[in-house]
């Protein structure tokens, strides 16, 4: 009877650990983390000079991201001397240089600069000084 009991125990142990007969086993684990996107700083106020005809030459200093680096380009906007939006200047597209020539009509104008990377936009700069085109 004792022999029978001992045999039953051995059988139970063998059945209880089938992994022992396998080649190995797999472990699953998890954890967390984070990914942070950059932030565009505001544009710098542009300086203006008269060009030929009613053209206005607009130039500005480069903007940066909060942790360094330069944006892809800039959007330039033209405002009336009263500060009312008039038009997207310099072709209305993202300018990758730090200056452009705007074909303005006769009048007195102010300009702003907005840093741009893809769909991202930095804060628009303050209005420039006025210029008579």
Confirm or reject binding of residue 40 to other proteins (CB under 8 A): yes
Write out the two tokens for 35.
């990914």
Over the window 55 to 74, marking each residue x when it contacts other proteins by CB under 8 A and - when it does not, the resulting string is: ----------xxx-x-----
Confirm or reject binding of residue 36 to other proteins (CB under 8 A): yes
Handedness of CA 92, 41, 81, 53 (dihedral sign): negative
Q: How many residues bind other proteins (CB under 8 A)?
A: 40
Confirm or reject binding of residue 82 to other proteins (CB under 8 A): no
Q: How far apart are CA 111 and CA 118, in angstroms?
A: 22
Q: Distance of CA 70 to CAs 1, 8, 95, 110, 128, Å?
A: 85, 75, 13, 24, 21
Q: Return residues touching other proteins (CB under 8 A).
A: 3-4, 7-8, 10-11, 14-15, 18-40, 65-67, 69, 117-121
């Amino acid at each position: 009877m004792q022999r029978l009991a001992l045999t039953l125990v051995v059988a139970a142990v063998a059945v209880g650990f089938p992994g022992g007969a396998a080649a190995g086993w797999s472990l699953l684990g998890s954890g967390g983390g984070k990914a942070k996107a950059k932030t565009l700083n505001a544009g710098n106020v542009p300086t203006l000079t008269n060009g030929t005809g009613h053209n206005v030459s607009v130039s500005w200093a480069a903007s940066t991201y909060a942790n360094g680096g330069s944006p892809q380009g800039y959007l330039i906007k033209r405002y009336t001397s009263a500060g009312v939006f008039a038009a997207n200047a310099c072709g209305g597209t993202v300018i990758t240089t730090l200056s452009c020539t705007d074909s303005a009509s006769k009048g007195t104008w102010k300009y702003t600069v907005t840093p741009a990377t893809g769909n991202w936009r930095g804060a628009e700069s303050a209005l420039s000084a006025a210029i008579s085109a």
